[in-house]
Amino acid sequence: MNVIEELRATVGAAHVLTEGDLSAWELDWRKRWRGKALAVVRPGSTAEVAAAVRACAAAGTAIVPQGGNTGLVGGGVPDDSGRQVLLSLQRLNRIRAVDAANLTLTAEAGCVLQTLQTAAAEQGLLLPLSLAAEGSCTIGGNLATNAGGTQVLRWGNTRELCLGLEVVTAAGEVWDGLSGLRKDNTGYDLRDLFIGSEGTLGIITAATIKLAPQPAATTTALAACATLQDCVALLGLARSRLGAGLTGFEVMNAFSLELVAKHFPALPRPLPGAPWTVLLEQSDTEGEQQARVRFEALLEAALEAGHVHDAAVAESLAQSRALWHLRESIPLAQAEEGLNIKHDISVPVSRIPAFVAQCDAALQRRWPGVRLVDFGHLGDGNLHYNVQAPAGADGARFMAEHEHAVNTVVFDCVAEHGGSFSAEHGIGSLKRGELALRKHPVALKLMRGIKAALDPQGLLNPGRVV
């Protein structure tokens, strides 16, 4: 039997696709990578995943695992050789358990994030992972890429939310490492090695995720700051006054909100003209009134200290949503304005002002008039520091001609400030060259050693990460 026949015998012929339009799996959702799979295989259980991996291992066939296919770095689609099996986890979509007293949820890799959020909410609990793709991304993909999102300031990345994993190894064995334990010091931390390894060390088939009680109220406020240094000072003040109640701290430069105003003129402009606008989110265990009082006291102190020159607290849930909507409209406004060069970088929070000043200047020197769309999760030190062509220039042409050089300027500057060229999106195939170039050589050696130890045939998502 050849490998396709083996796979059919393993997961059922109906779940081994080789013909017709397979672009749902072969093409990434932003349409930047199109591959050609030997077959799309859709196992229905962990045992079937293991059997499929054993069949591929016996045949020396490479496997590309895929969740919701919402990744941004080309880590989840096959190459164009027609020789890689695309292994979709989408049929592993059972919620195995919700344990309210232990604040945990155990679910299979193919569960859509939003489905899990809803299952938690039905028991009055919060699954504190939230990102733009939550309606279609899967928890397996979130774990494989250690996804970030908008709740990291309070709850950490996906890694910090995971207590245990079930994983199929490169040999097709099943490691049952599902765990509802907050403390377990029995050997090496295999869990965190698989999390963020983008399917190159093993295939995550299920996980136990931490939950939290739902907050009684969530409110937002906006603050206008003269400088990024003021934004950082406001962050410090907000952290010490609100503690863990501070669940969001997003920053937006003037140009990013000007783009929103230009392309979506119907949206409100609560604090027009501010060089920097901060969106704060507070979650409270007591109630909305309480939260608003605390926000007002914080912002008054920030005004007095001179960190802020204007501020507004949302007076209703609808107003809160409208403020978040402004923030979320920036990428859409950017797209309306034309193609642009996107980044997903992080530096220590304390170095953000110096980084932005230095990098803005370096870009302006080389490409006078270039426009910077600076916004992102300041509380995590994570900026989407995007570069738009000078006004009137052709965005597509600017990007084609200068993307690599712009990236080099930005990443060099990030490195000077002790930062990361991929804060939350991962490496995939897109940034593999960057990794080889920029990662500490000893780290690269350690990673390659681990890859060779755990996947000696090199069949798990080859060409990704290391």
Residue 454 contacts a copy of itself per CB under 8 A: yes
CA 39 – CA 19 distance, rounded (Å):
8
On the 0-12 / 13-18 / 19+ scale of CB atoms within 10 A, 168 is buried
Q: Which residue in this structure is represented by tokens 């963020």?
A: 196
From 227, 301, 450, 457, residue interacting with a copy of itself (rule: CB under 8 A): 450
- Range in contact with a copy of itself (rule: CB under 8 A) among 61-69, 130-138, 344-352, 389-397: 344-352
Write the interaction track for a copy of itself spanning residues 383-422; mark x where CB under 8 A is met and - where it is not: -----------------------------------xxxxx
Residue 419: name the closest of 457, 369, 386, 380 by CA.
380
From 63, 174, 302, 413, residue interacting with a copy of itself (rule: CB under 8 A): 174
In the window 252-271, what residues touch a copy of itself (CB under 8 A)?
A: none
Amino acid at the residue 28: D
CB of 217 to a copy of itself, least distance (A): 11
Amino acid at the residue 215: P
User: Nearer to a copy of itself by C-beta: 184 or 315?
Assistant: 184
- Range in contact with a copy of itself (rule: CB under 8 A) among 19-27, 31-39, 180-188, 317-325: 180-188
User: Nearer to a copy of itself by C-beta: 255 or 295?
Assistant: 295
CB of 150 to a copy of itself, least distance (A): 12
CB of 136 to a copy of itself, least distance (A): 20
In the window 54-113, what residues touch a copy of itself (CB under 8 A)?
A: 99-104
Write the interaction track for a copy of itself spanning residues 208-227; mark x where CB under 8 A is met and - where it is not: ----xxxx------------
Residue 380 contacts a copy of itself per CB under 8 A: yes
CB of 152 to a copy of itself, least distance (A): 7
User: Nearer to a copy of itself by C-beta: 268 or 418?
Assistant: 418
Parallel/antiparallel/unpaired status of strands 246-253 and 371-377? antiparallel
From 20, 188, 318, 368, residue interacting with a copy of itself (rule: CB under 8 A): 188
